[in-house]
Amino acid sequence: MLVLSNDDVKSVLDIGKTMKALRIGYDDLRRGEATYGPRIDYYLPTGRDTDYYQWGNMVGACASFGVVAVRMKSDVASWPEGKTQEKYCVRPGLFCGLVMLFSADDGAPLAMIQDGYLQHMRVGGSMGIGVDLLARKDAISVGMLGSGGMARSFLESFVQARPVKTVKVFSPSKANRQTYAMEMSDSLGILVEAVDTPQEAVQGALIVASATDSMVPTFDPKWLSAGAHVVCVTRRELGEELISRADVVIQLGINTIPFGIPVPMIEWKAGGISSYVAGKPEDRARIPNARSASTGEYPTMLDVETGKVSGRISDDQVTLFVGTGTQGLQFAAVGGYVYQAAKQKGLGQNLPIDWLLQDIRD
């Protein structure tokens, strides 16, 4: 079994290759040759009154790459004042997210991949596909809220989908947004300007992206221009006003067990994720519940691509792409590509497969 680090992944994966792999996965899904399950989280008290243990998993299968992927993440999570989600593994500044790949041919464990860089790429790539599907053809201006890794992969994908020329970026840290502006200008060869308010970033932009860890909406929908296309990292950033403002709302795919479906023990927590929660009532109260704006279900990207529903039909429409869903399939498609490319380049560390196989029937 191949063990791949973030550096290994970075050496074989860029946003163009990510979007190509994702499109292969979605073509499989359209033909019935791919599948995925809903994201489900598990919560367990840590014994402290400031945080909670959170385990997340996503599963998907993709015939073109011949793999099943299991993405797992292990976090100690907290929600300061209910405004953001903070998390770590072992100690602040460290994180644990892994993608396990298994062969659909003989069931063999193929790879264990650090998910940090792959995660940014697969989310950013899917947003670029959404821009290609729903944004105006002349969308050359971007308003970016956030200046972290997701904001970088978002913008990289946008320039793949549209001839972007100008970007205005806002994030709470002046130093971070200025660094983002300088680095993205240099890497993409376009004008990226750091601005002092979210309103300055949003107003006038034809592509508006919220790429933050916020638990609440990040901008006032009144700032949106006619014809704007809006994307966000998670449903936590959605608000009822934005959903009402949008003429067209499309979601990437099924994200989690839809809200309100009677599944024993399931609750819907932050971001509308279906969750199993352990703990006393006073412990459980620390975990933010889903807001109504984060639990809606909308037509999917494949519904638009197959003609079941309309996407953008006018340059004046405001379109909203809810970029959650199909995560397991994305990890199977992009992870499958990474595994093949890394093997060809001789990257990673090999673990003996005998360490993982047994002669006792499971």
Ordered per-residue pLDDT tens for the chain, 362 residues: 999 999 999 999 999 999 999 999 999 999 999 999 999 999 999 999 999 999 999 999 999 999 999 999 999 999 888 778 899 999 999 999 999 999 999 999 999 999 999 999 999 999 999 999 999 999 999 999 999 999 999 999 999 999 999 999 999 999 999 999 999 999 999 999 999 999 999 999 999 999 988 878 889 999 999 999 999 887 778 788 898 999 999 999 887 887 778 888 988 887 678 899 999 999 998 898 876 655 678 899 999 999 999 999 999 999 999 988 899 999 999 999 999 999 999 999 999 999 999 999 98
Where are the alpha helices (H) located in the chain, listed in sequence order?
Answer: 6-12, 15-30, 116-134, 149-161, 174-188, 198-202, 240-245, 281-284, 301-305, 327-345
Name the pTM for this structure: 0.92
Residue-range domains of the chain with CATH: 2-118+327-346 (3.30.1780.10), 124-256+292-322 (3.40.50.720)
> Which residue bears the tokens 């519940």?
289
Q: State how far the alpha carbon of 302 is from the alpha carbons of 23, 130, 250, 296, 309, in Å.
A: 11, 11, 10, 17, 9
Q: State the sign of the Cα–Cα–Cα–Cα dihedral 189, 171, 252, 109.
A: positive
Identify which of 197, 249, 210, 204 has the alpha carbon closest to the alpha carbon of residue 227.
204
Residue 151, CB half-sphere, CA atoms under 13 Å: how many? 25
Residue 294: how many other CB atoms lie within 10 Å: 25
Residue 51: how many other CB atoms lie within 10 Å: 18
Structure tokens at 216: 């609440």
Structure tokens at 146: 């956030």
Q: Alpha carbon 148 to chain centroid distance?
A: 13
